[in-house]
Each structure stands twice: as C-alpha cells, then as structure tokens.
Amino acid sequence: MKKILSVSGTLLLLLSAVSATAPAAVAQPSPSANWHAQRVCGDVPSGIASCFALKYVDDSAAKALAQGGQAKPASSTPPATGKTPADIQSAYNITGLKSGGRTVAIVDAYGYPNLERDLGVYRSQFGLPACTVSNGCLTIKDQNGGSKLPRFNSGWADETALDVDAVSAACPDCKILVVQATTASISDLGTAVATAAKQPGVAAISNSYGGGDSADSSYGAYYNHPGIAVTASTGDNGYSGSSYPASSSYVTAVGGTSLVKNTSTRGWGESAWSGSGSGCSSVNAALPAAATFGTACGKRASADVAAVADPQTGLAVYAPSSSTSSSWAQYGGTSLSSPLIAAMYALSGDSGGSAALANSLPYTNSGKFNDVASGSTGTCSTSPWCLSGTGWDGPTGVGTPNGVGGL
C-alpha cells in the first residue's frame, strides 16, 4: 500500500490546499507549526487493509519527551478545536432528525475491550442518550456473528473509537453494531461486512479502511447488499489511484473536506481536503448512475460524496491511549467521513430500496448536496480527478449532504 505523504517516523504533516479560485466565504484553517496528523495504522502488504484514522498531535510535546522532558498529561476534556455533535449536525443540516432506532454497523479489525466504557464517556460529555449493551443500543460481535472477540490492537481501537463517536455525533438515536474482524485482511473484513448485513435493523455499514485497488470479482460479494447503504473511505493519500473497498461498484465511496465556520448563510464553508483519496479504478465497473456526471473514468470513479475529514478541522473523540486508559484528542481522515455518511443514510431511512444500491442515490439527488468547488488533492492529467470544482469531482463527488434528502 502506498504511503500517504512524506513521512518522518510516524508523524506526517497534512496541510490543506487552497485553490486559487476558492470563494472568499470558505476560510481554510491555518496550520499550526507544532501540530501534525499522525496515522494510527501503518502501511500493510497486499491483501491487508490499513485503517485511515488520523490523530491530530502536538509534535513539540513528542520532541520534548524524546529529549528527556515530561510527557504531556492525557487530556481529560475535549480539544477546543474539535468538532462536536452540534457542529456536525449544524454543518450538514441534520439537527433534530431521528432515525427511529435504525442500526449503523461499524466494521473494523481486532478488539477494543473498553469500547462500551469509552463510548459512554463521549456521549455523556455531549449530552447524548446512553448507548450501552444492556439497553440494546450497542452490540459487539466477532466477524462470524459470535462473541469470541479478537485481541486488542491500539491503532484499530483508535479507529473504532472514531467510528462510533462519529455515528453518535450525526445520529444520536441510531443503534450501533460493531463487528470486529479477526485480522485486517480484506477477506476477514469482508466476512465481517457480510455478517453485519445479516443483522436485523441494519440500515448502513461503514468501512473506514482500505488497501490497493482490487477486483469485485474477488471481493465484491462481501459488499453487495442492495437496500443497505455500504460506505467506504476513499483513503488519505490524495490523488493516487483507487483504494478497495471504496473502488467497489457496490459501495458509496466517501471522500473528505476541510470544514470551517464562516459568515455565509449556511454558517459553514468547505473545500476539498488535500488528503482526500480520489482516482479511477482499473478493474471495477463504472456506476450507471454517474454516467452523465463527466467523471472521465472508463471504470469506477471515486468519490461519490464527502464529509469533513481534514484532521485540522476534525472531530473531538474519546479514544484509547493504551489497552487500559483513554483520553480526548482530535481525529480526522476519511475514516471520519465514512461513518458520518453512513449515519446520515440511516437518518434518511431510504438506502435505495430492497433491490437498489444506495450509491445511486447521490447522483439521482445531486441537487440536495452542498457542491464543494475548491481545493485540490494533487496533480493529475484530468482536472476533475484531483481538482474540486462545480459539479462532480474526484475529491468530493457530488458534494456534502444538505440534509438527508439526497441519501
């Protein structure tokens, strides 16, 4: 799997690109010299997926510790710059919407013993209703639907924390099903997706991970579930080709934006986040619904839709710092945008009907999205693949939700 950007140790700097044509209403976040986005999962060999969560960390604190200084205490309060549930709901015009208790499934690898405890801390902090195993809101299963949960993995546990907190932020009344794959192989994760699809009440399944472009002929059966919205992160590599399962013809591929408050009527501005994965699959079929959107891809184009992913403008999350302790931090990556979109599919209650794939809906309802028309994910031979503009583009698809009428 390709590296995201230039990496030094485990830290990398992700700076939001500003297009020269960016409208004045979209204020880009100013990068802090001491803060960087750190991957929580590393590079992996072919056939194995990496999670896409990025943690926003203070590089100066890490350097001070390496030089014999004192470690910075774990934060007991949410970071002031992190998005809250109220922010997410305001930005995407979903405040007050209810799902009626539909279930959003989260598929991740490995175990997370303190998941229920940490989710409780997050939801209590922001005044959200309790979501526990005992009250039926939270369910945790292994990849085969049983209770033999896999071993702890710190990176994937961070990913899971981000996912469940993101669903909670967008859809406080959604039930949450977490299915934990034994390993991060595409086949194990795919088995977990198939298990999630069989559970009653599941309206959407989020997948915040990926590997290289793979063929639906090999793995597509895991993700082909008409009537259930299956979302997948496009990755944090910028314009660099497709990532599977986002490159599958059966899923909704979710890119990422930078999201900031401004003085517009909406109250928020968005541009394409520079890390948002975009590209054309070399093996999987184009979406029929996208045929008139000028993707210039002979096969499957990514992304279809987007939501906030820039770590600088990311979500406040309560996540594990070890197998026993947890603390607050700010997270992003397209690992954030995928569960947000999955939760909004659950709020819509449509998901395409029992015989349709949910990834067609954004194209048939493109007027119900915020068109993201600035920002870039790199250099490409065909501008829409890496440069955000009016209409469809690779980094953000048809845009970000304005309510859930487009889903």
* CA neighbor of 270 nearest in space, from 303, 309, 234, 235: 309
**Where residue 69 falls among pLDDT bands split at 50, 70, 90?**
low
* CA neighbor of 382 nearest in space, from 368, 392, 372, 373: 392
Mean pLDDT of 6-18: 35
C-beta of residue 129 within 8 angstroms of C-beta of residue 173: yes
Mean pLDDT of 81-85: 97
The 10s digit of each residue's pLDDT in 363-373 is: 999 999 999 99
* 190 torsion bin: left (phi>0), alpha (psi -120 to 50), beta (else): alpha
Torsion of CA 369, 374, 375, 381, to 10 degrees: 100
* CA neighbor of 383 nearest in space, from 374, 394, 373: 394
On the question of pLDDT at 22 being above 50, the answer is no
Residue 355 pLDDT: 63
**Where residue 25 falls among pLDDT bands split at 50, 70, 90?**
very low
The 10s digit of each residue's pLDDT in 95-111 is: 999 999 999 999 999 99
CA 404 – CA 7 distance, rounded (Å): 37
* CA neighbor of 37 nearest in space, from 329, 338, 354: 329
Q: What tokens appear for 338 in the block?
A: 């995928």
Residue 58 pLDDT: 82
Ranges 66-70, 179-183, 322-326, most confident: 179-183
CA 329 – CA 334 distance, rounded (Å): 17
On the question of pLDDT at 125 being above 50, the answer is yes
**Strands 50-51, 202-207: parallel, antiparallel or unpaired by DSSP?**
unpaired
On the question of pLDDT at 207 being above 50, the answer is yes
The 10s digit of each residue's pLDDT in 237-265 is: 999 877 999 999 999 999 999 999 999 99
